[in-house]
Every structure is written in structure tokens, then in C-alpha cells.
Amino acid sequence: MRHLLDTKTLSREDALQILDVAEDMGDTQRREVKKLPTLRGKTVVNLFFEDSTRTRISFEAAAKRLSADVINFSAKGSSVSKGESLQDTAQTLQAMAADAVVIRHSASGAPRTLATSGWISAGVVNAGDGTHEHPTQALLDAFTMRKRRYGADSRGRDLEGLRVTIVGDILHSRVARSNVWLLHTLGAQVTLVAPPTLIPQDVTAWPARVGYDLDEAIADAPDALMMLRIQAERMNASYFPTEREYSRCWGLDPERFAALPRSTMVMHPGPMNRGLEICAEAADSPRSTVLDQVTNGVSVRMAALYLLLAGERPAPVDHDSDAK
């Protein structure tokens, strides 16, 4: 794998390889092997033009656990605020011999531009671009669903037949787009539920069903219910329902949470607007995977960096020899 830019073009084979390597990485973390030497001498640059907590920190943790050197760059406080272009920023990184660049950018397509422009020779990982895609988020979500479904027996498995409902601001959500493509590739059935004004026009080309009624979706007893953040910062108030209306019609409130089957996983990529799209009872319940998603994000990002920079699946962890 040379770059990880989206899930729309990610093959089933590559997706399963990332998930399986992430299982291996998770095993090393559970065994409290704090660091693996595999990326010693490599440099990973985290290039964040938009705010992030989970993604930036987990890419940094992932790279450090693989013994790579990490350079963190955020647009705030950099020469980007003086008008420096993406090309000049990228060429500066090239001069610093970056081996991988993890980029988050407000412009959809910025990671692909970086990967294909010839400005840099590094592998590029998309950490979220505009309203386009957030592939490592979808991979960690799929990893989390697979783990809840199959436990220690997850390796090599896809998500055939899993019924996943994604609720909320689909229009602005790169997480929704990446999840729809990846879940489809892995055999899951996806339903999107949102106010009509927050469904993108091209949704008819997506491999997903569309609905507008959250109560109907809950009565359908999905295996996973993924609540999305309302992205007020990308929204024009004229097409957004009021917060009160949104919460009443599309929020996972205590009554709706009580109506969900006990087997349904409650997911959220974070950051959450508690009380708007999800209530505390749901977010903090044992059925919530919110913190598992964060933990699994480190394993999945270790796997992505490993496959980009080392190129092949590492040897399986030998638990027996470790115990001797």
C-alpha cells in the first residue's frame, strides 16, 4: 500500500489486511509491549490544517509505538497563517525527509493532491479532508464492530450481514462517507437516517438505504447505531433544523435509547454534542463503544503506518515464547 486516501477505492483484501494487522498491534498493546522497533529511523509528519483531538493524538501515539520519529505540524502558529501554500508546506516537509505524511485539511481532495502532485515522495494518509473521507475512522469503526461481533476470533472475518444505521449530519460527514464505502465492501448493510436537508444529493449513488425517521430505524433493531456530530461550523442556519427540533426528532434521547435492543452497539466517532445528538445515558452505557473506538484507533493507525512504511504484515505475535 503506497497511500491511504479513501475507503471508496480500498479493496476488501487491503481492508481486511489493515484490520488483521491492527489485531496484531492491539495484542502487543494488551501485553504491555509499549514499543515495537519496526519503524525505527522513519519520520512521520502529522500535518493538521484543521483541529483534531482523537485523530492527531492517536496517529502520534501509533507512530511512537512503532519507534518512528514524529513531527507535529498544525496550521495555527505556522507559516500557513502567513499565506504559505500547500505545495510550499509539502516541499518543506520533503526537505526534512518525511517518510509518511498524515494530513487533515478542510479542502476535500487535499490528501490526493499531496499524494499525486510529485511534491513529496512520502506515503500519504488521509486523516480527514473536508466533507470527503476519513478512512482511518471508518477502519477503526469496522474494527470495533468486528471485535464486538467476533471477539478474539475476529481475524480474517468481514462484516457480512451486519446491519448498521448511521444517524445525523450525513451531508457534511466524511465519517459517514468512509463508513458507507468500507461497510459495503465488508458486506454490511447500511441505512442512513437524517433530516432531508442533511442528506447529500448524490446519496442515490451510495450503497446505502436512506430514511428520515429515527424511531422507525430503532424499531428495525440494527446491530450498530452510529450517531454523528452536528457540524454547526460547516452549516448554513437556513437549512439546519433548530437544535431543539433536531434533538427531538433525530437525537438518541433516553427514551429512544431504552427502546434499542440490548444487543445494539451505540457508536459515535467523537467529538460528541451531549444532549443534542446523543444523551449521556447512551454515551456512557456498557453498550457504547465510544472509548473502544478511541483505543482501537491507535491499533488501526499503527497498522496503516506499518503497512505504508514497512510494506508487509509483521510476523504473528508468539505468546508462548513470551511466557517462557
Q: Per the annotation, does 209 bind a ligand?
A: no
Q: What cell was used for 129? A: 479532508
Exactly one of 187, 271, 275, 311 binds ligand CP (CB under 6 A); that residue is: 271
User: Edge-to-edge strand order for the sheet containing 43-48?
Assistant: 69-74, 43-48, 100-105, 123-129
Between CA 269 and CA 105 the distance in angstroms is 18
CB of 51 vs ligand CP, minimal distance in Å = 7
Residue 274 interacts with ligand CP (CB under 6 A)? no
Between CA 222 and CA 261 the distance in angstroms is 8
DSSP 8-state code for residue 70? E
Q: Per the annotation, does 151 bind a ligand?
A: no
CB of 320 vs ligand CP, minimal distance in Å = 37
CB of 293 vs ligand CP, minimal distance in Å = 8
Residue 137 interacts with ligand CP (CB under 6 A)? yes
Q: Is 146 helix (H, G, I), strand (E, B) or coil?
A: helix
Residue 67 interacts with ligand CP (CB under 6 A)? no
Classify residue 301 by burial, with Cβ atoms within 10 Å: 0-12, 13-18, 19+: buried
Number of residues counted as binding ligand CP (CB under 6 A): 10
Exactly one of 8, 54, 149, 313 binds ligand CP (CB under 6 A); that residue is: 54
CB of 268 vs ligand CP, minimal distance in Å = 9
Residues 95 to 134 in contact with ligand CP, rule: CB under 6 A: 128, 134
Q: Nearer Cβ to ligand CP, position 89 or 296?
A: 296
Residue 295 interacts with ligand CP (CB under 6 A)? no
Q: Per the annotation, does 134 bind a ligand?
A: yes
**Alpha-carbon torsion 100, 102, 103, 109, what sign?**
positive
Q: Is 131 helix (H, G, I), strand (E, B) or coil?
A: coil
CB of 167 vs ligand CP, minimal distance in Å = 16
Q: Nearer Cβ to ligand CP, position 65 or 268?
A: 268
Give the list of residues 6+ apart from residue 301 with CB closer than 8 angstroms, or none: 58, 59, 61, 62, 63, 136, 140
Q: Which residues define the annotated binding site for L-aspartate?
A: 82, 174, 229
Judged by the rule CB under 6 A, the positions of this chain that interact with ligand CP are 52-55, 128, 134, 137, 269-271
